[in-house]
Amino acid sequence: MNIIFYHPTFDIPFWIAELEKQIPGATVREWKSGDNRPADYALVWHPPVEMLEGRSLKAVFALGAGVDSILSQLKAHPEMLPETTPLFRLEDTGMAQQMQEYAVSQVLHWFRRFDDYQQQKANVHWQPLPEYQREDFTIGILGAGVLGSKVAESLLGWGFPVRCWSRSRKNWPNVSSFAGRDELAYFLRETRVLINLLPNTPETVGIIDKTLLAQLREECYVLNLARGVHVIEEDLLQALESGKVKSAMLDVFNQEPLPAESPLWKHPRVAITPHVAAITRPLQAIDFISRTIRQLERGEAGSKPVDRHSGY
């Protein structure tokens, strides 16, 4: 069995050694331009078209939770990967716990008004503030996949009202579920903290715009952990200036790295992290990929491939 591997930043010798250890009989090699030798599987992140084009692969694994980069390439180069080739993504591999840590820490930061106290510190002002009440601090999660379910679960443990919105209705314990465009306004109406965990699809690009933000509760908070393309940054800045959005925490952006001239850097009520909310943990990712390949080789049903039309 031959596996080709491409990632611009990963420790490739480590990945190759661990994959060969976990998949008996596998030979794993780093793909480089001009390599047209046979391969059975491909492990990729933002792969060049020539890496996949013309190959008869049993499956392709995206080395992250999203496959939007591959799907966008397929729109321009449909010959890159036949429709019949299964495409897998990393379903969790430690990302859910990281998302829980990020979301819970930030929600508690806002709930305990630490952002307000930091502003008071900047103004050398000592003043205890009224506490927020949990029943008035409803958390709304856009996106109800694996990561969304785990984030909801962790926030319920802190006693917050939690609701979710997605394409189809979910049946999560103690979580109010809203589905489809017709119910989006109802979802937004009582949401105080909006957490974005949507997949990147044509239907979700630009969804967090001035129309959506206007439907949230006054002095709401926005936490974007999904993709930068979901947010119209100019609309978010306007909502911050008007006071509709009290604070925003952003991990992802339309352009990364975020350009130095972006007004988001200097806005006093915007916090920024450099796309680190949930990073791929090698050993857990290798375990998932190796297990899935072994299942495929045995003809067993295992992880579900990505639906290329829905984008996840």
Active site (catalytic) residues? 227, 275
Give the strand order in the sheet containing 87-88.
27-30, 2-6, 41-44, 59-62, 87-88
* Half-sphere CA count of 224, side-chain side, radius 13 A: 26
- Cα separation of 251 and 91, whole Å? 20
Residue spans of alpha helices (H) in 209-250: 210-214, 233-242
Name the amino acid, one letter, at 275: H
Residue 230 near residue 98, CB atoms below 8 Å: no
Helices and strands: H and E segment counts in the chain:
10, 12
Q: Omega into 173 within 30° of 0, i.e. cis?
A: no
φ, ψ at 295 (rounded to 5°): -65, -45
Residue 177 tokens, joined = 């579920």
Helix (H) or strand (E) holding 154: helix 146-156
- Cα separation of 263 and 161, whole Å? 33
Helix (H) or strand (E) holding 107: helix 95-111
HEC string for 1-22: CEEEEECCCCCHHHHHHHHHHH
- Cα separation of 5 and 51, whole Å? 10
- Bridge-based pairing of strands 220-224 and 245-250 is parallel
